Amino acid sequence: MSGGVMAEMGSNGAAMAPLSGASKTKHVAWRMLLTTHGLLVRRIEERLTEAGTIPLDWQDVLMALHEAPGGKLRPSDVAEFVLLSRAGISRRVERMCARGLIQREQHPSDRRSVFLSLTEKGRRTLFDFWPVYRAAIEETFTAALTAEKADTLSAILHGVLEKVGSDHHQTIYPAGITEEPQVGAG
């Protein structure tokens, strides 16, 4: 290679061009986003485990059902909300039903379809979970942000979401993240 610099070779034998300038900066940002996300989730899950709450990924299902019109969603709609495959949501629903947090209900006009909804235990679990989750978010994430930086980060991520998200995800976040669930709501 020119200048004595060897290019790295990809698995197909093709040379991988080194990154430079804006391209390098953007790739570094991508790697930082992945690393930060992974570390934040790990730390938050540690706090939740220490507090004896439900797993973080169950909260997404409970919140989706809590916020759903009429408190019911089809499993495929829950899967879209929490970014899971049909198989992944099926396994999660089975475990959560077994714990009594959610229930299946027959669709009134289509006996082949089911809706998912929160049980009273699921609703109480969500309300008990939320203060622990909020404290973990504040400790691990928001403590590192000023309001201005949070606005900037939100704007950046919203722009990315507009490019890659579904219509569903684009309509959830423009007004901001869901507030703490209120007793009796949903």
4 φ/ψ sector (left φ>0, alpha ψ -120 to 50, else beta): left
Residue 126's CB is within 10 A of a number of other CB atoms, namely 22
Relative orientation angle of helices 75-82 and 56-67, to the nearest 10 degrees: 120
77, with CB counted inside 10 A (0-12, 13-18, 19+), is middle
C-beta separation of 80 from 172 below 8 A: no
Q: What is the pTM of this model?
A: 0.73
Amino acid at 22: A
Lowest mean pLDDT among 54-63, 121-130, 161-170: 161-170
What would the mean pLDDT of 30-48 be, rounded to a whole number? 95
What pLDDT, on the 0 to 100 scale, is given for residue 91? 92
51, with CB counted inside 10 A (0-12, 13-18, 19+), is middle
Mean pLDDT of the chain: 83
The rounded radius of gyration (Å) of the Cα atoms in the chain is 21
Domain boundaries of the chain, sorted by first residue: 39-168
Handedness of CA 180, 165, 136, 156 (dihedral sign): negative
Domain 39-168 annotated CATH 3.90.1300.10: no
Percent of the chain surpassing pLDDT 90: 50
pLDDT in tens, 44-80: 999 999 999 999 999 999 998 998 888 899 998 898 8
Q: What angle do CA 115, 116, 117 make, to 5 degrees?
A: 120
Most confident range, picked from 64-73, 101-110, 130-139: 130-139
Most confident range, picked from 61-65, 116-120, 155-159, 170-174: 116-120
Intra-chain end-to-end CA distance of the chain, in Å: 63
Q: How confident is the model at residue 4 (pLDDT cuts 50, 70, 90)?
A: very low
Name the nearest CA neighbour of 96 among 112, 77, 69, 78.
Answer: 78
Q: Which residue would you say has higher pLDDT here, 138 or 158?
A: 138
C-beta separation of 85 from 79 below 8 A: yes
